């Protein structure tokens, strides 16, 4: 059977994981992006693999999201252990427990309820005063989420780019309009739309974050509370995140940076003494029900994306599903719950 010629438009983690799996299946792949590959939302992320935290704190409008998040974590663990997967050190993979600080009684109740369900039931309470004295003084709880961890998303992007090149894939810099997203216009067999928030049907959500120099008094593992997080990585600690729906620019507002730092310092006072190494903004794609898109939207036209806050967690699994289906093999039954055709696709 001749190779499929596949053009993947969008070089974020969704597009890169799909490209890698298609190349491993022997297909001919070109990845097209309007900017430097992998330097959008995937570069701006914090790299958390946190299905338990997301389940407890996000409204799960899509009934299949709980199972998808934990299946994606299982796939990450298998991917790490496989001969073709990245070594843990290369991508900064860590599976030490995430610490969730419950900033309200309602959040504490959500974590306690979640501890009774399935794969998330291994939650345990931890000593809050060691982590955040103010929260302990307020009588609020902290929980260790042993299933949640992290990866260095920037190291993952770099590794995927090298893998794609080594497997014979190609990169091109170009900006594609919706009208050009057809196999006829692209001169290929299949076009994969992996443009993130530019995919029709997505709401853009701008996020702002920063990295801090390591400093005494800052946590040595992922800590999350409310919309904020501190994520320690090699040589830096990521602090985020401020989010605003509907914005697509990636400018950095200094007032927002100061607000983020002040909010974090209320919980971890050492944040005030740590040097800021870098600030940035990125734009995530959010579908209306918060669940990703994976599937055909027309002849030779495929979509993969819309992973919102879980792009690092979901991309390896959904990239595999997409590559399996594009190559003509049978995709798993679970994929049907995430078809983009569950909505009438409209821009916005």
In the predicted model, is pLDDT for residue 60 greater than 80?
Answer: no
The answer to whether 343 touches 103, Cβ cutoff 8 Å, is no
pLDDT at residue 345, as a whole number: 43
> What values do phi and psi take at 252, rounded to 5?
-110, 125
> What values do phi and psi take at 208, rounded to 5?
-125, 140
Residues 6+ apart with CB under 8 A from 341: 295, 296, 297
Is the pLDDT higher at 178 or at 320? 320
Average pLDDT estimate for 299-312: 96
pLDDT at residue 97, as a whole number: 86
pLDDT band at 132 (very low <50, low <70, confident <90, very high): low
Residues 6+ apart with CB under 8 A from 160: 13, 16, 17, 20, 38
- Going by C-alpha positions, the residue among 200, 265, 216, 203 that lies closest to residue 239 is 265
Each residue's pLDDT tens digit, 252-297: 999 999 999 999 998 889 999 999 999 999 999 999 999 999 999 9
pTM given for the model: 0.92
Q: What is the DSSP letter of 117?
A: S
- Going by C-alpha positions, the residue among 301, 299, 300, 337 that lies closest to residue 318 is 337
Note if the bond before 16 is cis, omega within 30 degrees.
no
Kindly list the strands in the beta sheet with 124-126, ordered across the sheet, starting from the edge strand earlier in the chain: 124-126, 142-145, 98-101, 223-225, 228-233, 236-245, 203-212, 276-286
């Amino acid at each position: 059977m001749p190779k499929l010629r596949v053009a993947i438009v969008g070089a974020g983690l969704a597009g890169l994981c799909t490209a890698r799996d298609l190349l491993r299946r022997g297909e001919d792949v070109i990845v097209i992006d309007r900017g430097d590959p992998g330097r959008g939302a995937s570069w701006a992320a914090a790299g958390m693999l946190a299905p338990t935290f997301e389940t407890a704190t996000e409204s799960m409008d899509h009934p299949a999201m709980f199972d998808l998040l934990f299946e994606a974590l299982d796939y990450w663990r298998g991917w790490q252990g496989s001969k073709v997967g990245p070594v843990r050190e290369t991508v900064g993979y860590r599976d030490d427990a995430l610490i969730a600080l419950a900033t309200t009684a309602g959040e504490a109740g959500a974590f306690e309820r979640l501890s009774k369900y399935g794969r998330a039931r291994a939650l345990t309470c931890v000593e809050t005063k060691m982590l955040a004295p103010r929260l302990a003084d307020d009588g609020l709880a902290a929980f260790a989420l042993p299933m949640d961890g992290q990866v260095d998303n920037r190291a993952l992007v770099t590794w995927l780019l090298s893998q794609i090149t080594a497997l014979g894939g190609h990169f091109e810099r170009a900006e594609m309009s919706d009208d050009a997203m057809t196999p006829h216009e692209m001169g290929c067999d299949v076009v994969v739309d992996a443009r993130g928030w530019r995919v029709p049907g997505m709401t853009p959500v701008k996020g702002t974050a920063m990295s801090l120099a390591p400093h005494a008094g800052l946590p040595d593992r992922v800590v999350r509370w409310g919309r904020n997080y501190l994520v320690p990585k090699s040589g830096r600690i990521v602090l985020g995140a401020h989010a605003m729906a509907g914005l697509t620019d990636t400018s950095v507002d200094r007032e927002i940076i100061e607000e983020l730092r002040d909010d974090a310092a209320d919980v971890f006072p050492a944040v005030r003494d740590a040097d800021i190494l870098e600030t940035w903004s990125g734009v995530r794609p959010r579908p209306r029900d918060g669940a990703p898109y994976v599937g055909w939207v027309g002849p030779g036209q495929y979509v993969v994306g819309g992973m919102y806050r879980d792009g690092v967690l979901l991309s390896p699994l959904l990239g595999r599903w997409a590559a399996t289906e594009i190559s003509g093999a049978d995709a798993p039954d679970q994929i049907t719950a995430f078809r983009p055709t569950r909505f009438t696709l409209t821009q916005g």
